[in-house]
Structure 1
């Protein structure tokens, strides 16, 4: 058709060249990028809204991949796809402990980040960097937090504890006083003591907060067998049956929240999701709670275990450039702010925790900056695909102390031997 128009002199040669160039460029650049962006709650709905903005900006389209709800099942599915070198999913949602586990299958995003990674919380970027490669960009974060009943602290003229020893003393004081006044179910402190990943997170906070290291250091050194780590575990072992219920060794996140939200605990360790649930209409503790960074150990500092999700690009994607561009768009400060305002997810940019619009919607964000600045990554990057085994022996060792089957010293000595067996040699 273009040839006929040109032969009649009705379409200038220069205009024709421009039209052909635009037509060719458009057809070459327009691609479909598939993203697995979660499947829990409003994940898919929010993902569709934000990716639509990228599509309008770039001319590319986005297909949402239906991922399993369970993170364990998600990882298993990804591994099957990696084994087949499948590019079915271009952009992956990645749990904070996965970068080291699936490092061989992710694209290095350093060239695409162009230095913006320096604007995120350093602990998250360090977690996502394996072997010098930035394998994922932070999307939203989480960290272990201390929840407290501000009404009860005010009633009993107590301060928010800065150390674990202060927490234990304050918890005991208020628990005993409230029980005398008629609430026989009042507990001083609830946490995640069940033998699972949640106990690993708690144990890392106790140990690191007491100056006992991170169990396995970033250089691969096994550091757990030390006096400070042992003393941290011994302190916590004194809680079940005193300031905590005896069955706290069966508690996961929801069991802890259930006790706290029913009005029967002074303090609780949990993740950020609890705030919105505790503030809903009908909650017995609505407008009665505060949030702070976790207490520190003796001579140590506050330590929060890092949580949250990242976005990564599959090494088998046929559209790596476009997929990386989508990742950078979704993890940008502007998009993280929108997501925070929409559903209250926690941004990974410290600057957004002083943003007036964000604070108007979620005033408790001001209490979270310290927790995220002091967040500690689980030793998943260095232990890579052996992390699950590492975590299992860690939570088992911690529960042995909680259930009085071993002392702190005995437990960390045994744990060191088990970690050496898992490592099998000098390198992970």
Structure 2
């Protein structure tokens, strides 16, 4: 694949500071995912960047599935592909792709202090800043406030409360004529999104986080098995059987047409849910995800996307400038207002324009600050295999192929073999 058939050496454009050196204008390519309105937002920002700098940026569209995206990235980078200069990267990929990306430490020393330290740390591998944060993520429980008010219900704090409320509201709404409504939709397909969902079920039930920070494989335990078995009971009762093939957009599709009482999803779905074409506009709110009991800590998987520069790029200086442009407070503010994505720059949570456009956002800050990370830091280059084996074990259980106890026991054996002497 050649996404840059030619390089323009003459681009007639004026930068903000004045005329630029036309011979220095670069042509870049950026690989980015297609979830929600990400691509349309990037096109708008690219137009602004091109006007300000004279550089040209081509957008390479990637699948919405982060797992498919990672597989393609790994193939391109392993081949030393020069066609992509900038990669939009998931928070978990830093340890796996660090050697393929430019160290941004020196180039971003003037701006890293604006970002949450924990997010900068998540993108730092062996002292090397692999990627600059673009936006952060932590999922929440979306709920139909109008329907809960209608039946005298409050947002559930435990998974059992969620199941009971979802079933009651679902059944009453169906009896009233809403035949297509379901109680709860989430991401049940066999991909990285299921790892996120299942980690939340298990961690919030006291079942650990698959692999602990010290490298201990902890997933094979009674609390973890019980959490997955509980979710298995939801399939076909409060969640459609098709949820086993849902990713983020399929879940949002059901929710946004008014056919779900609850939804687990990321912040991007908030702005879209309040769009003019949404059947649930103004009818929903968000709350922290439930836990096993009132005494357990709710768990949201730490997500987020970042911006990395390929070490194979022939236009590294321009690529770094583009990354800093996209990661800047100005761009993150626009993204927060337009797409409801959470900024990685602390000051934006106190910005009155952001709060006015997205009133929920200041309340989301503690959700992601206490979010649980996936075990990518400890599993390093083996994380993708760890996650694949984990989501497969969970998906098998939810699909009726073995019990959770059986599948998690087998998973422990597989992870032990994968670990070898050390991660």
Please indicate, yes or no, whether the TM-score normalized by the shorter chain is above 0.5. Answer: yes
- TM-score, normalised via structure 1 length: 0.81
- Is the Cα–Cα contact under 8 Å of residues 136 and 341 in structure 2 kept in the other structure? yes
- Is the Cα–Cα contact under 8 Å of residues 28 and 315 in structure 2 kept in the other structure? no
Partner residue, 1:225: 220
Matched, 1:208 2:203: yes
Give the Cα–Cα distance (whole angstroms) in 1 for the partners of residues 161 and 250 of structure 2: 24
Give the Cα–Cα distance (whole angstroms) in 2 for the partners of residues 83 and 407 of structure 1: 38
Q: Give 1:86 deviation, angstroms.
A: 5.2
Partner residue, 2:261: 266
Q: Give 1:310 deviation, angstroms.
A: 0.8
Matched ranges for 1:170-319 at <5 A: 170-298=165-293, 299-317=295-313
Q: Give 1:417 deviation, angstroms.
A: 0.9
Mean CA deviation greater in 179-188 or 348-357: 179-188
Q: Give 1:44 deviation, angstroms.
A: 4.1
Q: Give 1:38 deviation, angstroms.
A: 2.7
Partner residue, 2:373: 377
Q: CA 1:155/1:93 → structure 2, altered by over 3 Å: closer, same or farther?
A: same
**Residue of structure 2 aligned with 1:51, choices 32, 49, 52:** 49
Give the Cα–Cα distance (whole angstroms) in 2 for the partners of residues 406 and 77 of structure 1: 32
**Residue of structure 2 aligned with 1:124, choices 99, 119, 122:** 119
- TM-score, normalised via structure 2 length: 0.82
Partner residue, 1:410: 406
Partner residue, 2:26: 32
Q: CA 1:302/1:72 → structure 2, altered by over 3 Å: closer, same or farther?
A: closer
Q: Give 1:236 deviation, angstroms.
A: 1.6
Partner residue, 1:22: none
- Is the Cα–Cα contact under 8 Å of residues 193 and 247 in structure 2 kept in the other structure? yes
Matched, 1:420 2:416: yes
**Residue of structure 2 aligned with 1:107, choices 95, 102, 105:** 102
Give the Cα–Cα distance (whole angstroms) in 2 for the partners of residues 153 and 383 of structure 1: 41
Larger Rg: 1
Give the Cα–Cα distance (whole angstroms) in 1 for the partners of residues 234 and 33 of structure 2: 37
**Residue of structure 2 aligned with 1:348, choices 344, 350, 355:** 344
Alignment: residue pair count: 397
Q: CA 1:406/1:165 → structure 2, altered by over 3 Å: closer, same or farther?
A: same
**Residue of structure 2 aligned with 1:62, choices 37, 55, 58:** 55
Give the Cα–Cα distance (whole angstroms) in 2 for the partners of residues 78 and 180 of structure 1: 48
CA distances 1:211-256 after superposition (whole Å, capped 9, x unpaired): 3222123443322122332222122222223322344323333332
Q: Give 1:129 deviation, angstroms.
A: 2.5
Matched ranges for 1:71-86 at <5 A: 75=70, 78-79=73-74, 81-85=76-80
Gaps of 5+ in 1: 1-25, 56-60
Q: CA 1:173/1:62 → structure 2, altered by over 3 Å: closer, same or farther?
A: same
Matched, 1:368 2:361: no
Q: Give 1:148 deviation, angstroms.
A: 0.4
Q: CA 1:77/1:199 → structure 2, altered by over 3 Å: closer, same or farther?
A: closer
Q: Give 1:321 deviation, angstroms.
A: 5.5
Secondary structure, in 3 states, of the residue corresponding to 2:422? coil
Q: CA 1:229/1:77 → structure 2, altered by over 3 Å: closer, same or farther?
A: closer
Give the Cα–Cα distance (whole angstroms) in 2 for the partners of residues 86 and 282 of structure 1: 40
Give the Cα–Cα distance (whole angstroms) in 2 for the partners of residues 240 and 98 of structure 1: 31
Give the Cα–Cα distance (whole angstroms) in 2 for the partners of residues 382 and 351 of structure 1: 31
Give the Cα–Cα distance (whole angstroms) in 2 for the partners of residues 123 and 398 of structure 1: 29
Gaps of 5+ in 2: 1-19
Q: CA 1:289/1:48 → structure 2, altered by over 3 Å: closer, same or farther?
A: same
Q: CA 1:86/1:181 → structure 2, altered by over 3 Å: closer, same or farther?
A: closer
Q: CA 1:212/1:109 → structure 2, altered by over 3 Å: closer, same or farther?
A: farther
Give the Cα–Cα distance (whole angstroms) in 1 for the partners of residues 117 and 230 of structure 2: 30
Matched, 1:91 2:79: no
CA distances 1:350-383 after superposition (whole Å, capped 9, x unpaired): 4323311112222232342233223333333433
Mean CA deviation greater in 248-257 or 351-360: 248-257
Mean CA deviation greater in 404-413 or 356-365: 404-413
Give the Cα–Cα distance (whole angstroms) in 1 for the partners of residues 314 and 401 of structure 2: 53
Q: CA RMSD in A?
A: 3.0
